[in-house]
Amino acid sequence: MKTRYRLIRRGIRGGLYYCVDSKTGKRTSLGINDEDEARQIIEARNNSERQPALNLQIARSYLIASDAAWVQRTWRDVIEQIQVHGKESSKDRYRRALKSSAFDRLRSKKLLETNAEDFLVMLNEGKVSVAHYLRRIHNFALGVGWLAVPVLAPRFWPRPRTKSKRAVTQAEHVRILEAEKNPERNLFYQLLWEIGASQSDAAALTHENIDWPTQTLTYFRMKTGEQAQLVISKKLAAILNQLPTVGPLFPSITATNANARAAEFCRRCRLLNIKGVSLHSYRYAWAERAKCAGYPERFAQAALGHNSKAVHRAYAKRALVKIPSLDDYEERTNPMLANRGTQK
């Protein structure tokens, strides 16, 4: 039987060895210049062609020698392990998502016996969230070295599909404030409109984040650790003056979790028949207002935190900007140019 792979060498001295596929003619560098080692690799590839039925058993033998637990690990081990890494909020999301019955067919499956068909069946039958978390646990298994090769090539994974997000409009914001009779939540929504913080960052603010002598509000984003800093405007000062001067600015809201805050806001919007917005929409609203006002992007990034996706989204395409004429812009930025071109 003719062997499929053969060995060649580029260069007379110190050259690298290449594997040549006789079927396709493709040459692949082995990245080594040791002849004995190169011949072993070629022999292994030819053996895999001659006896494919023994490939899995041979692989198991090698894997057991390096890690006895390798051949026994199941996806349940991966699911359990991924839930102990990351922030508490991430752990909670993994626990909730991976309880889904969609993952039941995979839990007892051994990693070594998993093939692409197992994943494709789940992807075809499951929801967007199933595809998202399946990819997460797959990449985690690869990252910790529990998978030697990917089960599914990157091009076969479905593209992420996210719900369309939009900013809350000023008219909607006014309606929400008029309907919200709870003073603390009312001020909370007002603050979100003025500073564009995420709901968790805003809920965690205390009097220590306010520096009245320098008229600045400074905090570090929980998600990224980036610093966000804003000058306290008159409107923002009016809001802050109604909040506690010691401890959390929103004592009751701070005591609740993000899900409870989001649920309360969604209930308010549902009663007002306002659709397509969440508390995070205030962040998008601030970024779009900044762009429409001609606010420099670097200032917006500093105000919302330098890694803000809201700023990128608004400045990239979402906000509609009425561009002033060059003459008007020059006059506004440099009054000395106002009469230029009219003087004789």
Q: What is the pLDDT of residues 149-166, one digit of tens each?
A: 788 888 888 877 666 678
Q: Which of 336, 334, 288, 340 is nearest to 315 (CA)?
A: 288
Q: Which of 187, 176, 181, 200 is nearest to 270 (CA)?
A: 176
Residue, of 274 and 326, whose pLDDT is higher? 274
Q: Which helix (H) or strand (E) holds 28?
A: strand 27-29
Residue-wise pLDDT tens digits, 51-80: 654 565 555 555 555 566 667 889 999 988
Residue-wise pLDDT tens digits, 84-129: 887 777 788 888 888 888 888 888 988 878 888 888 888 887 678 8
What number is the average pLDDT over the span 21-27? 85
> Which pLDDT belongs to residue 343?
45
Confidence bin at 175 (pLDDT 50/70/90): very high
Q: Which helix (H) or strand (E) holds 7?
A: strand 5-9
Domain boundaries, the chain: 5-50, 71-156, 170-318
Mean pLDDT of the chain, nearest integer: 82
Question: pLDDT > 90: what percent of the chain?
Answer: 28
Question: pLDDT > 70: what percent of the chain?
Answer: 79
* Cα separation, 254 vs 266, whole angstroms: 18
* Cα separation, 57 vs 245, whole angstroms: 70
What number is the average pLDDT over the span 310-319? 60
Confidence check: pLDDT of 273 > 90: yes
> Which pLDDT belongs to residue 229?
85
Question: Are 281 and 289 within 8 A, CB to CB?
Answer: no
Range from 37-51, 95-109, 239-253, 309-323 carrying the lowest mean pLDDT: 309-323
Confidence check: pLDDT of 178 > 90: yes
Beta bridge partners of 211: 216
Domain 71-156 adopts which CATH fold?
DNA polymerase; domain 1 (1.10.150)
> Which pLDDT belongs to residue 60?
55
Q: Which helix (H) or strand (E) holds 255?
A: none
Residue, of 183 and 37, whose pLDDT is higher? 183
Confidence check: pLDDT of 13 > 80: no
Q: Kindly indicate whether the domain formed by 170-318 is annotated with CATH number 1.10.443.10.
A: yes
